[in-house]
């Protein structure tokens, strides 16, 4: 559960007073809290841990890490096998 | 490591290993603190690429593994209470308490649900105003910002049916406890990259200086780990003890300030018991008085539970780095990931599970670890 997965911010919105975003993790899209990265915007890449964006990273970094995680099967472990990811889907 | 395109680069991996080999003149014990790193090391066969002088000691950095059995038992009691929706990360469902795991509580009619994020638990509380929703808030500094925000949001929404069973643990006091122990044999640390992503690494220079240990902030990819090990070995051989950041694409010295601000608002330091290790002073967080209304331990009467650890399980020694998983008599026999005796076999980040899943067997002749399966080195 300590894995932090890179994803791309697709949209930014407000929910219950918190800054949120739709973030795509190699195709799996989830709602992610963006409150800890006030500067992040649509198109940016970030690493996400238990639904929270923690650090902005560059695109090359993000894509390469995602590919590695996918190769190792870690994305399925984290989100469940698509198209029915574990946990609440947005 | 700056460019990720180099991550799976076998040439670079070979260069790093060659540099480690040529630098080493004597034996060193290096601890990777984080269970995610343990998992990656075993999965990628990094320990097998290293010269025999360099031993990796697996640290206590798996929150599922270090959650004390008393707290697991409290979780099970709360989950079994009528009207409760008990939410947790998936790993926690299989952790054995004194009497069974959360799956068994669910089987007996408990409403136990796996959530991806603590905010999903807040959402459940809002959608189920007649039910008590309890979230099992475990984790290191990486997970704590999420749990803190869940509490802040519950307060903002005025929810009176949401609470958190808090069991947060902190890395620097654990490093200090390991280094301060008379049995310690760890000479350098790979600090957990994602913990430092939140907290920065300004807490580490004082530790490095006081205990004369190199501390290298390290990521999770094979080349990240090799680079972290290389830097630690170079420092050990040179007799230096400073803090280095080998994960600069994610980690800064200051860390994530907005997250630190919310953490400081919601939590205060407390003594915390670690499974198999015992109480480490000021090694955990609990809710501050202003947020005590969201403390599940205050809301549910779960005192007076008598907890018993399975006698055969030696996970305490595994977590302290004094015993390798395969040296436990139950390893792979009474204890497997399908029927785990201890949390270090339950969590995919636990050292026992990593050894089991990647076929590591003891080599009795040399004491070195061998592998039954193919070695997936990054080359
Ligand atoms: S192999 Fe099983 S019983 Fe032995 S220490 Fe690990 S978790 Fe405990």
Q: Is residue A88 part of a domain?
A: no
Every domain of chain B with CATH number 3.40.50.11740 lies at 68-168+256-300
Q: Which residues of B touch A31 (CB under 8 A)?
A: 119
Print the domain residue range for A73.
5-78
Residue where the block lists tokens 């603590």: B118
Mean pLDDT over A38-51 rounds to 93
Q: Is residue A59 part of a domain?
A: yes
**pLDDT surpassing 90 at residue B342:** no
* Residue A37: closest C-alpha in chain B: B258
Residue where the block lists tokens 């050990």: B236
Which of ligand 1's atoms lies nearest the C-alpha of B344?
Answer: 7
Q: Is residue A84 part of a domain?
A: no
Q: Is residue A87 part of a domain?
A: no
Q: How many domains does chain A have?
A: 1
Dist CA A65 CA A47 (whole Å): 10
B278 to A42, B71, B95, B150, B267: CA distances (angstroms): 45, 13, 18, 28, 21
A49–B115 C-beta distance less than 8 A: no
Q: Mark which residues 232-261 of B lie under 8 Å from A by CB.
A: 249-251, 256, 258-259
B3 to A61, A64, A65, B46, B250: CA distances (angstroms): 7, 9, 11, 20, 12
Please state the CATH superfamily assignment of the domain spanning residues B68-168+256-300 in this structure.
Answer: HypD, alpha/beta domain 2 (3.40.50.11740)
Mean pLDDT of the residues in chain B: 88
Residue B73, SS3 per DSSP: helix
Q: Tens of pLDDT along B283-314?
A: 999 999 999 999 999 999 888 888 887 788 89
Calculate the dihedral angle through the C-alpha atoms of B218, B242, B229, A45, rounding to the nearest 10 degrees. 20
Q: Is residue A90 part of a domain?
A: no
What's the pTM value of the predicted model, to 2 decimals? 0.86
Q: Is A50 left (phi over 0), alpha (psi -120 to 50) or beta?
A: left
**pLDDT surpassing 80 at residue B368:** no
Q: Tens of pLDDT along B153-199?
A: 999 999 999 999 999 999 999 999 989 988 888 999 999 999 999 99
Residue B38, SS3 per DSSP: helix
Q: Is residue A70 part of a domain?
A: yes
CA of B65 to the centre of ligand 1 (A): 11
CATH number, domain with residue A14: 2.30.30.140
Q: Is residue A25 part of a domain?
A: yes
A1–B156 C-beta distance less than 8 A: no
Q: Are B178 and B191 in contact (CB under 8 A)?
A: no
**pLDDT surpassing 70 at residue B375:** no
**Architecture of domain B2-63+176-239 in this structure:** 3-Layer(aba) Sandwich (3.40)
Answer positive or negative: Cα dihedral of B203, B205, B208, B210. Answer: negative
pLDDT band at A73 (very low <50, low <70, confident <90, very high): low
């Amino acid at each position: 559960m300590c894995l932090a997965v890179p994803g791309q911010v697709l949209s930014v919105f407000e929910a219950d007073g918190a800054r949120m975003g739709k973030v795509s993790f190699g195709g799996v899209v989830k709602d992610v809290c963006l409150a800890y990265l006030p500067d992040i915007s649509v198109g940016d890449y970030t690493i996400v841990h238990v639904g929270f964006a923690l650090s902005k990273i560059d695109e090359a970094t993000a894509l390469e890490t995602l590919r590695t995680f996918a190769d190792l099967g870690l994305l399925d472990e984290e989100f469940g096998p698509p198209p029915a990811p574990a946990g609440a889907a947005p | 490591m700056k460019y990720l395109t180099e991550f799976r680069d076998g040439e670079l991996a070979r260069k790093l290993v060659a540099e480690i080999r040529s630098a080493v003149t004597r034996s060193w014990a290096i601890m990777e603190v984080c269970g995610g790193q343990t998992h990656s090391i075993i999965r990628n066969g990094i320990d097998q690429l290293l010269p025999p002088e360099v031993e990796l000691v697996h640290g206590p950095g798996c929150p599922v593994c270090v959650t004390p059995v008393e707290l697991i038992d409290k979780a099970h009691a709360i989950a079994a209470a009528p009207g409760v929706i008990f939410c947790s990360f998936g790993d926690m469902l299989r952790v054995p308490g004194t009497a069974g795991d959360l799956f068994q509580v669910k089987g007996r009619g408990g409403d136990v649900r796996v959530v991806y994020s603590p905010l999903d638990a807040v959402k459940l509380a809002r959608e189920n105003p007649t039910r008590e929703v309890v979230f099992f808030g475990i984790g290191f500094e990486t997970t704590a910002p999420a749990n803190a925000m869940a509490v802040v949001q519950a307060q903002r929404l005025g929810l009176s049916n949401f609470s958190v069973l808090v069991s947060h643990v902190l890395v620097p006091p654990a490093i200090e406890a390991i280094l301060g122990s008379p049995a310690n044999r760890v000479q350098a640390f790979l600090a957990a990259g994602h913990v430092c992503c939140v907290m920065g690494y300004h807490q580490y220079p004082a530790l490095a200086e006081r205990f004369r240990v190199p501390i290298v902030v390290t990521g999770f990819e094979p080349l990240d780990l090799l680079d972290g090990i290389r830097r630690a070995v170079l420092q050990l051989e040179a007799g230096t003890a400073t803090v280095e950041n080998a994960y600069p694409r994610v980690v800064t010295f200051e860390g994530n300030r907005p997250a630190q601000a919310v953490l400081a608002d919601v939590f205060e330091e407390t003594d915390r018991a670690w499974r198999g290790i015992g109480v480490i002073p000021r090694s955990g967080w609990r809710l501050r008085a202003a947020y005590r209304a969201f403390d599940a331990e205050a809301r549910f009467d779960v005192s007076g539970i008598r907890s018993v650890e399975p006698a055969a399980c030696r996970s305490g020694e595994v977590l302290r780095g004094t015993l390798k998983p395969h040296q436990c008599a139950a390893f792979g026999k009474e204890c497997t990931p399908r029927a785990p005796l201890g949390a270090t076999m339950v969590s995919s980040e636990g050292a026992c599970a990593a050894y089991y899943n990647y076929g590591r067997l003891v080599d009795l002749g040399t004491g070195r670890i061998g592998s039954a399966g193919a070695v997936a080195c990054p080359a």
